[in-house]
């Protein structure tokens, strides 16, 4: 009981949780290697961590949870590992879609469709369509995603409008560009968590994270769950978010 009270200490300062939490789920392979296990076991345990984290996000009242499940750079990994990751995505949808839908989770997916097999694309489309009206949590899965490609694609959309004469170059604003990103309609992350001790964004939400608070954890992703999520939120509440302005409160 004392340990749980410590993990919930951030609630004594405020009942507000971050509206949008983004997570770079890193360290599955290293978690397995440290235990003398195949990397595939680490990826399977990583899916269990996703399940725990989604449940915790709903319980804590987080509105948006974005998880970095497969980057566009991950195609450089061995073919066997890519096949395993794709298979895990399929099994996650088959096994968890009904429960996620029942719990009011809305699934959205950002990233490129090119290169993803047709069966998986069909399953993704089904999951998105089935859950599109749910309100408990928006689970946004960054799959075959790269932020630079996302920004370049948005720039092309606006360039095409200029070419057609429906948009003047001087009318292009940060807000307009944001409206044609994959994440349009979703607030920017308040908190971004990366596991495994690495201290970089790895081409994840580069535009959206301009004023996001970062928390880097030494734990590998398969060990992640509610306790570490609450720990990260507690760290988030120690930050003084100025958004480029003047401090509004003391961090004590």
Of 74, 103, 134, 203, the active-site residue reads: 74
Name the token pair of 173.
């604003």
Of 5, 26, 28, 84, the active-site residue reads: 26
Distance CA 181, CA 113 (A): 15
Count the Cβ atoms, other than its own, within 10 Å of residue 208: 22
Distance CA 191, CA 20 (A): 7
Residues 157 and 179 sit within 8 Å (Cβ to Cβ): no
Distance of CA 32 to the CA centre of its chain: 22
Judge whether 28 counts as a catalytic residue. no
Residues 217 and 194 sit within 8 Å (Cβ to Cβ): yes
Distance CA 32, CA 222 (A): 9
Judge whether 203 counts as a catalytic residue. no
Active site residues: 26, 74
């Amino acid at each position: 009981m004392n340990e749980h009270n410590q993990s919930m200490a951030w609630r004594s300062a405020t009942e507000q949780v971050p509206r949008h939490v983004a997570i770079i789920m890193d360290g599955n392979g290293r978690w397995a290697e440290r235990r003398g296990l195949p990397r595939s076991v680490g990826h399977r345990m990583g899916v269990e961590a996703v399940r725990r984290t989604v449940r915790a996000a709903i319980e804590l009242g987080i509105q948006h949870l974005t998880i970095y499940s497969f980057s566009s750079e991950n195609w450089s990994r061995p073919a066997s590992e890519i096949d395993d990751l794709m298979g895990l995505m399929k099994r996650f949808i088959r096994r968890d879609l009904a429960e996620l839908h029942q719990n009011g989770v809305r699934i959205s997916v950002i990233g490129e469709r090119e290169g993803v097999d047709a069966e998986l694309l069909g399953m993704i489309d089904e999951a998105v369509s089935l859950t599109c009206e749910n309100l408990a949590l928006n689970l946004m899965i960054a799959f075959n995603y790269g932020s630079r490609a996302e920004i370049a694609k948005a720039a092309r959309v606006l360039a095409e409008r200029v070419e057609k004469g429906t948009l003047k170059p001087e009318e292009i604003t940060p807000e307009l560009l944001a409206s044609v990103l994959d994440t349009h309609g979703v607030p920017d992350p308040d908190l971004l968590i990366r596991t495994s001790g690495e201290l970089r964004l790895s081409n994840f939400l580069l535009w959206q994270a301009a004023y996001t608070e970062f928390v880097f954890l030494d734990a590998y992703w398969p060990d992640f769950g509610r306790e570490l999520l609450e720990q990260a939120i507690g760290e988030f509440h120690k930050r003084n978010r100025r958004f480029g302005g003047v401090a509004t409160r003391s961090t004590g």
